[in-house]
Structure 1
Amino acid sequence: MTISLRRRPRAALAVLGALAVIAGGLALTAPATEAVPTPLPRASSTDDSVSTTKTVTRDYYPSTSSTEPVTSSNKVTVKVDRHTDLQSRERLAVSWSGAHPTGGRAGNPYGEKGIDQEYPVAIFECRGVDDPDAPAADRISPDTCWTNTIQERSQSDDADRSIWRDDRYADPADTGQVSGVDEDDLPDSCPTRQDSTAYHYTPFRAANGTFYAACDAEHLPPEAAVGSVDPPNEVFAYTGVDGKGTAQFEVRTKSENESLGCSDKVACTLVVVPIMGLSCVDATASCNKTGAYPPGSRNDGTTGAQQAVSGSLWWSASNWRNRISIPLDFALPPNTCTLLGQGAPVPFYGSELLSQAALQWSPAYCLNKSRFNWQSNAMPDEAAFGLMTAGTAAAAEVTERQDADTGVGYAPTAVSGFGIAYSVDDPSTGLQYGSLKLNARLLAKLLTESYGGDAVGAKRPGIQDNPWGLQTDPEFIKLNPDLELAFGRTPSVAGAALLALSTGSGVIDQLTSYIAHDADAMAFIDGKADPWGMKVNPAYKKVAVPVSTWPLLDTWVPSNTGSECLDQNKAPYLPKVAAPVSSLRLIAQAMLFNWPNVQTSCEKDVTTGLWKLGRIGVQEVGQRFMLGLVTLGDAARYGLPVAALQAKKGSYVEPTDKSMSAALKLSKQSTKLKPFELDQADIRTSPIAYPGTMVVYTAAKTYGLDQASAGRVAQFIQVSSTEGQTAGRGNGKLPDGYLPIAATGATAPLYRSAQEVRTAVLAQKKPSTPASPSPTDGASAGPGGSGGPIEPPSTLPTAPVPSASTSASPTAPPTSTGPITTADTARVSSSMGGGLLPFLLVGAVLAGVVAVVTRLMLGLRGVR
């Protein structure tokens, strides 16, 4: 069976659906945890990594009879994969070698849960610079390093056993019974000099100058607390027996953490402290201990880590002196264009695949007086196309050809795609699994709600004999044998679903087309059991694919569960396990925080005595198993691992420059100015092409568009197809997660087509005869053809480009020819196009009705 991607008819209410999408969506917030770097497309042509080496030491006495201390030293090299133009919540890949191996490893290395292990590598985001010549107020210190809990900043012990008082490098003022802070600065409620107890406090000094004593939970910044909305980003990471380790570190700006205050104007530093242990004043001090756990071991919970070599004393002079510092450079905040942009925003609407590129592209327009204030707004393709054809928007960003597109050109704008992000821990080590494989049938099982998830869902008639989740599916284990769970371990309910979209999207269309072109997946959907006996959920048997909106079809309501909560909340159960969300951004955030959107948690209202169903909790490190549909741009920005997908049978392909280029070479453009068709049937013949590869096009009218709007669209096409394809992390550059479109190589036909569309948009000339096929159509003219290098345009007809506030009425014809010129701008960054639309309130009112109608009209149609 062969099914090609083709034009999709728009729903009658596509424009109203757009309003509902704009109005909908709630931000997800929850703890972030470690992930392993993956080979995503690396657009950056310049290496933004930084590496530094330092010899770290400890002086200790091996026995009470020793007369001289022994100096233990390690030459530690720390590398960070990026450190400039950082965006909010971006994750840095931190790696090191030469550190002391960690013993008694904690199950969760983040925040207070990570301090009780021996010889961890502690990583912090600290306000200030590590420069002894800088003013004292601008220098880093433990007082300016962020931690989320009191346990990481406050210590107390019997005065005779408080080992930090025996630190040979401590300031004399820090060896008293109360140390770390002047007692006169402590609030009256802070304990001091009680009986024979010694106290050490590491206060936090906020960006606005506020002093937080950190003597108890009441004297911490508002963003800090156990279980707070913004979780720990500080990590006490593991070092292997070979002295090497890695960690993903999430940087935060003042938008998330105002007390820390990092921004483009407030310098901050990544501080890495390889814990070597306290250096002791004499042979009798308790700080001479070297650890109770062997390297590589896990904390069994029966014996605590020896404090002298634990993470709890990261702030001590002995450990702090061994720090390794990496300066962090932040982009301007997301509201830059709102505050500083030239003229009113000119919104384009469309695919979320463009969102991360828009973060870097937007300020290159809004801060340049020679350009208009371009704003990108995420919206389903069909709805965005409807706004463009209705004249509400000048252009739409779409991923495939749309219905009724006479007189519309599609300029290739970005090459990216989708990925299946995963947060999966190896049950044998508790660490993030490094290379996951998935095929189309496994994805079909997840989307069709064919896993029960838990004891309740497993009672659904027709799937009682199916595995509860992906973790225990023999097909999944065969592909990922290292993940076979220990006997008797119950899988997480989150492993029963792929966190996906509730709205229409070209991404869903491409994903379900991938499934539709797999014989095994389609046989499963048609009702044939897999080789291990698993069957499709009866509600999805023979479901039509591909579709742009995935339907929730299961209506089974559990009964006789013995649960008062479920008895009070009668509703279809498996859709609560699937629990899709309204945007790919929300999926990326959920993956970043390891917080499934599964809505099966029962909570009782103590006031009313009634039960309600809500979202399950955040998954702990070592117990994570969660998959989500994401853009490759989001995956690259947030350091989310992405699974390898099966292309040709037996070949599993990860998203890389090479695999995405291989996919583009299979695409064809049948008609000039129209999109290139990337057929999943062709992908399945290649052992190296990545199935999730997609192209975003700027769709605009080639006639019937006012000259002012035509000039703006033409300018956007020119800039985005030239300087916008220059790889890098700065203003106007193309970020990671995208394959640059160039005048040569696999993307050359895309580049050529973009220039043809730009010329046609500028001309705004209605053809007198039907458009003829492009002379370069067909396989020989596709990305794999022999058309030769394509040079950048040197003399193209141009139209005046008015400011965003200029009237849209026709203007006089251009008096000159040549490329549109642009001016340089300072480096900044922006959000992907914030701001509210004038019709937001109308969309909010109609959202509920449109959601139902859209699902009926879009979700149930398809091609088989």
Structure 2
Amino acid sequence: MTRDRALRRLAVRLLAGGCAGALASALLALAVPAVHAATPSAAASSAAASSGATTVSGRGEFKEMRFTVSQTRNLSSQAVTVSWTGGTPTTYAGSQFNTDFVQIMQCWGDDDRSVPGNPGPPRTQCQFGASPTTSRGSWPGNGYDDTRSVTYSADPSSYGMDDRYGAGRPFGQGEVPFRAVDGTTITTGTQNNPLFSYNTTNEIDFGHTGADGTGREFFEVQTRNEAPQLGCGTPVRHPDGTVTGRPCWLVIVPQGHLDLDGQPYADRTQVNAGSPVSSTNWRNRIAVRLDFNPVGAACALGAKERDTTGSELVSDAMSSWQSKLCDTGTVYGYTTLGDADARSRLAEKGDSLVFTSRALGTATGTSPPPDKVAYAPVALTGLVIGFTIERQPRSDAPPAVRGTAGTRVDSLDLTPRLVAKLLTESYGNSPWGAVRTTTSGGTSGRVAAKGYAWAAGNPPGLLSDPEFIRYNPEFAHLTVAENPSTDTDLVTALGHTDAARQLWRWLFADRQTRQFLKGQPDEWGMRVNPYFSVDPDLNPTGTAFADDRDDFPKSDPWKTIPPGSSDATVEQSMTDFHPYVDDLHSGALHTRRADQLWKSNWDPLASPPAWKSPGPQTVGRRFMLTVTDAASAARFGLQTARLRNAAGEFTAPARATLLASAAKAVRQDGVLHTDPATKVPGGYPLTLIVQAAARPAELDAAARRDYAALLRYAAGAGQRPGDAPGDLPRGYAPMPQPLRAEALRTATALADWRPAPSPGSAGPTGPTSGTGPTGPAVGTTVGGSTGGAPGGEAGGGPAADPTSPPTRAPGSGGPGSPSPVPPTAGSAPAAAPVAAGISPADPGGALRYAVPIGAAVGLLAALAAPLAGGARPTAVRLPLRVALPGGRSVTLVPRIPLPTWLRRLRLPGRPGRRPPTA
């Protein structure tokens, strides 16, 4: 065979192999689905479309106004943004809203046909009018504009006049009744009715319009769980078998600048605006339909149920996933349980799946179970400081600042030390009454109770702390009501959680904060409350405040009798000044409502008599902060503070910052952790990865399959952001591909797990491995190859379909091969970093490797062809065809003539060319 012919054949083989490789890569690309293939802009457009953001116009004198509701579909118990433009700036009579403000309420029912062109509900079916009945001295309403009270007029033409209610009553005074969805009707005493009250209503009595004609309010949408009288979201089953939630309405009533007589206000010192549900005001109402997800997943009756418990951080995600997973025929129950309690339950019983952020047996005083534990990442989220703050300018503030009165603050920057000051009750007004101001001889001074001299020397609250002003300079011109429910308090939840532990780890990782907790004053002389000092010599208890906490203790034992109390035996304690909430969700909801928790009102008629909260703070003067989770903050529209990370940056809890921190997570005892002490540029310090944990040996085969299906959904379709049932709610970042791949491997390992054969038994046919009490882990460990990072080079190949079991390589499970075995504590390196290839902006996917791998495979095949058949390989002849059924064929590679220059090429040693000399 001549060298020319050999060269030509080699070129043909290379070309044919490359083409075949390209074809194989295309087929591989089709076989590997892309997760979240949509571009960010497309995803954002899809999310906006699914949310049903709606803009509507006003009418009459408000025809220039445009109102936008941020979400009208797939609603649950949450907050939506109502914003407007084209309005007239609000004016005040003293502290009361006088002219040109906006009122918002939620209603139920069919169109009442009162406003042509704008369907909406009857005014009798709207939740409004539960303003306070006492202590209205500083309240910004006049007793009509925030109630259901109206004045009868047979031919009404003025605000607050009515053509029906009040007729025949003294002075024509009446009330618009409220009718509940079950038919219950309240005709009198509507301001203090048994169905909804000042503490539970979601109505917005006063929405401020700024100098530029714009305004914005966060409206709390309520389902039947929060407002049974409205029934919104009640499951409705249709003839085709589909289930939807009962719709409701969001109704906006703009108030203008006319008096009750229909003329412009003549007396600007008092407010005469009437009720929004009067027939005259109701003609200006704008109604927007609200579509709810069914409340309570309407799974088929009799379906089997699998129990899940654990971290509240996954609560919103599970609430979304549960309804979609009904299609699998399994009901996945979920109960929030403290992380430590959930781990203890799993270690003791092992018959369920729990959500946690730490491995079993890692907490002090605990030990791991004797068998293996499978871990799978399911959610990426974070702990946040949420707030509702409205600007209250000081009297000496510049005119531009005074013009911002009542508007919301959107951004705060908090250092670890500032958060520590709030959590340790170290501000002067935190132990309320321990420091009193006295006046003698025309001079004022501060007198501290015994043991509280430290409080007298500290700033009264956050707004008087120079450190806070340094990072938030606009507050130098603002003020706040000085009491325990405003700038001295950080609302926290009762109980032990991994989220609380993460926050304390962030605090103790900061050098300034550690020094402050040891008792060293800050640059301005502020000292820690000694009951929280980590120095036992400084702490009055004689014991150091622990640095490895997973709760938010109220360590200060301060008690006092409030000034002016007629009962000297009635004391208030720190838990009256700074009460706990039940959970992170409740903290977000109370903060959204600005429901001050300070129990300042004594109720002698309660059983037993007790201190009670007076209810929400006054509109325009709200100031509340809380520790909550990112999902709850997003759900209720809370602003969230930017926190200083270990790299010295202030970062907010956003998708990019959560992913940046997740990219630097380390594996400890088989579970991925994010460390607030790690310097992660652009990372959010309170990022948390929630893991699902199960003990395969304690579950039967059916339970393992069901839990595996949950994990596959959570790692697949459950990572698609959106508001529809089954989507990933706001406040979570879609997990990067390596974490999803790890969850899918765990799902496969869980479903395929088989117990190890007992000693001396032959066992099933073929080699097996298992997770007996003492059996070693054989085969692939869940979450990547032993010693490898999840999704890294040692972690296996491309991910398979995220909604179905991934294809298993030989030897990775299935009949006749070792079963993948979940890892136990200590089965992975103590600090193995997550794959460095995680990109915060563009999580990696298997699809990007298909074409280069396929082409490389084809090239190798072509190069190896001459060696495959011995000394005389079979030539590849073109055209290259593949036979199809029916006698047909398809051409893969056509006949390709070689160029003249290649045919004329002579190799060294070819006759006609002189061989090279030595």
Q: Same fold (TM over 0.5)?
A: yes
Residue 731 of structure 2 aligns with an amino acid whose one-letter code is: G
Cα offset for 1:509?
A: 0.7
Distance in 1 (CA, whole Å) between partners of 2:279 and 2:129 is 18
Q: Deviations over 1:126-176 (max 9, x none)?
A: 22345859999x95233333312483333238x8xx9x7336xx9xxx99x
CA gap of 1:439–1:106, structure 2 versus 1, over 3 A, is farther
Distance in 2 (CA, whole Å) between partners of 1:431 and 1:515 is 31
Unaligned regions of 5+ residues in structure 2, if any? 1-42, 131-142, 237-245, 362-366, 394-404, 436-448, 535-544, 754-768, 809-813, 819-918
The 8 Å contact of residues 669 and 677 in structure 1, kept in 2 or not, is answered as yes
Q: 2:289 aligned to 327, 339, 347, which one?
A: 327
Q: 2:181 aligned to 198, 207, 214, which one?
A: 207
Superposed counterparts of 1:378-777, under 5 Å? 378-403=336-361, 404-405=367-368, 407-428=372-393, 429-452=405-428, 453=430, 455-458=432-435, 459=449, 460-484=452-476, 490-542=482-534, 543-556=545-558, 568=569, 573-599=573-599, 601=600, 603=602, 605=604, 613-615=611-613, 617-648=615-646, 650-669=648-667, 674-682=670-678, 685-741=679-735, 747-764=736-753, 765-766=769-770, 769=776
CA gap of 1:455–1:267, structure 2 versus 1, over 3 A, is closer
| Structure-1 residue corresponding to 2:825 | none
The 8 Å contact of residues 198 and 615 in structure 2, kept in 1 or not, is answered as no
Q: Deviations over 1:281-306 (max 9, x none)?
A: xxxx94132x469xxxxxxxx7123x
CA gap of 1:575–1:104, structure 2 versus 1, over 3 A, is closer
Indicate the percent of aligned positions where both proteins have the same amino acid: 27
| Structure-1 residue corresponding to 2:85 | 97
Distance in 2 (CA, whole Å) between partners of 1:628 and 1:619 is 15
| Structure-2 residue corresponding to 1:141 | 122
Secondary structure in 1 aligned to 2:666? coil
Secondary structure in 1 aligned to 2:585? helix
Superposed counterparts of 1:791-802, under 5 Å? 791-792=800-801, 796=806
The 8 Å contact of residues 106 and 202 in structure 2, kept in 1 or not, is answered as no
The 8 Å contact of residues 120 and 249 in structure 2, kept in 1 or not, is answered as no
The 8 Å contact of residues 55 and 69 in structure 2, kept in 1 or not, is answered as no
Distance in 2 (CA, whole Å) between partners of 1:332 and 1:372 is 18
Cα offset for 1:532?
A: 0.8
CA gap of 1:489–1:562, structure 2 versus 1, over 3 A, is closer
Cα offset for 1:692?
A: 1.9
Distance in 1 (CA, whole Å) between partners of 2:414 and 2:794 is 31
Query: Given the alignment of the two structures, is residue 273 of structure 1 paired with residue 253 of structure 2, yes or no?
Result: yes
CA gap of 1:479–1:237, structure 2 versus 1, over 3 A, is same
Q: Deviations over 1:836-857 (max 9, x none)?
A: xxxxxxxxxxxxxxxxxxxxxx
Give the number of equivalent residue pairs: 682
Q: Deviations over 1:164-212 (max 9, x none)?
A: 7336xx9xxx99xx7224xxxxxxxx67264xx4456544444344554
Q: Which has the higher contact order (CA 8 A, sep 6+)?
A: 1
Distance in 2 (CA, whole Å) between partners of 1:791 and 1:548 is 38
The 8 Å contact of residues 485 and 624 in structure 2, kept in 1 or not, is answered as no
Distance in 2 (CA, whole Å) between partners of 1:140 and 1:562 is 49
Q: 1:124 aligned to 105, 113, 137, which one?
A: 105
| Structure-1 residue corresponding to 2:886 | none
Cα offset for 1:440?
A: 0.5
Query: Given the alignment of the two structures, is residue 236 of structure 1 paired with residue 236 of structure 2, yes or no?
Result: no
Residue 217 of structure 1 aligns with an amino acid whose one-letter code is: G
Distance in 2 (CA, whole Å) between partners of 1:576 and 1:133 is 48
Cα offset for 1:361?
A: 1.6
| Structure-2 residue corresponding to 1:254 | 224
Cα offset for 1:658?
A: 1.3
Distance in 2 (CA, whole Å) between partners of 1:717 and 1:43 is 28
Structure 1 window deviating more from structure 2 (519-528 vs 632-641): it is 632-641
Residue 547 of structure 2 aligns with an amino acid whose one-letter code is: V
Cα offset for 1:316?
A: 3.8
Cα offset for 1:514?
A: 0.6
| Structure-2 residue corresponding to 1:186 | none
Secondary structure in 2 aligned to 1:401? coil
Distance in 2 (CA, whole Å) between partners of 1:330 and 1:199 is 37
CA gap of 1:564–1:814, structure 2 versus 1, over 3 A, is farther
Cα offset for 1:259?
A: 3.6
CA gap of 1:563–1:549, structure 2 versus 1, over 3 A, is same
The 8 Å contact of residues 708 and 748 in structure 2, kept in 1 or not, is answered as yes
Superposed counterparts of 1:330-369, under 5 Å? 330-334=292-296, 336=298, 340-365=300-325, 367-368=326-327
Q: Deviations over 1:627-662 (max 9, x none)?
A: 211111111111122211111465211111111111
The 8 Å contact of residues 748 and 789 in structure 1, kept in 2 or not, is answered as no
Distance in 1 (CA, whole Å) between partners of 2:554 and 2:606 is 33
Q: 1:156 aligned to 151, 157, 177, which one?
A: 151
Residue 402 of structure 1 aligns with an amino acid whose one-letter code is: L
| Structure-2 residue corresponding to 1:288 | 263
Distance in 1 (CA, whole Å) between partners of 2:262 and 2:571 is 60
CA gap of 1:105–1:84, structure 2 versus 1, over 3 A, is farther
Structure 1 window deviating more from structure 2 (124-133 vs 389-398): it is 124-133
Unaligned regions of 5+ residues in structure 1, if any? 1-40, 59-72, 108-112, 182-189, 294-301, 742-746, 799-812, 818-864
Q: Deviations over 1:695-739 (max 9, x none)?
A: 111011244532222122211111211121122222222111111
Distance in 2 (CA, whole Å) between partners of 1:402 and 1:205 is 52
Q: Deviations over 1:95-137 (max 9, x none)?
A: 1112233222886xxxxx8xx531222322222345859999x
Distance in 2 (CA, whole Å) between partners of 1:43 and 1:575 is 46
Distance in 2 (CA, whole Å) between partners of 1:420 and 1:97 is 30
Superposed counterparts of 1:9-158, under 5 Å? 45-47=47-49, 48-54=51-57, 56-58=59-61, 74-88=63-77, 90-104=78-92, 116-130=97-111, 132=113, 140-149=121-130, 151=144, 152-156=147-151
Cα offset for 1:759?
A: 2.0
The 8 Å contact of residues 461 and 482 in structure 2, kept in 1 or not, is answered as no
How big is the alpha-carbon RMSD for the aligned residues of Structure 1 and Structure 2? 4.1
Secondary structure in 2 aligned to 1:354? helix
Distance in 2 (CA, whole Å) between partners of 1:784 and 1:621 is 56
CA gap of 1:97–1:202, structure 2 versus 1, over 3 A, is same
The 8 Å contact of residues 669 and 782 in structure 1, kept in 2 or not, is answered as no
CA gap of 1:782–1:717, structure 2 versus 1, over 3 A, is closer
Distance in 1 (CA, whole Å) between partners of 2:352 and 2:108 is 43
Distance in 2 (CA, whole Å) between partners of 1:408 and 1:128 is 51
Q: Deviations over 1:330-385 (max 9, x none)?
A: 22223745xx55435322111000111122122223x33x3322111111112111
| Structure-1 residue corresponding to 2:157 | 166
Distance in 1 (CA, whole Å) between partners of 2:277 and 2:60 is 14
CA gap of 1:91–1:785, structure 2 versus 1, over 3 A, is farther
Distance in 1 (CA, whole Å) between partners of 2:209 and 2:290 is 23
CA gap of 1:57–1:603, structure 2 versus 1, over 3 A, is closer
CA gap of 1:431–1:492, structure 2 versus 1, over 3 A, is farther
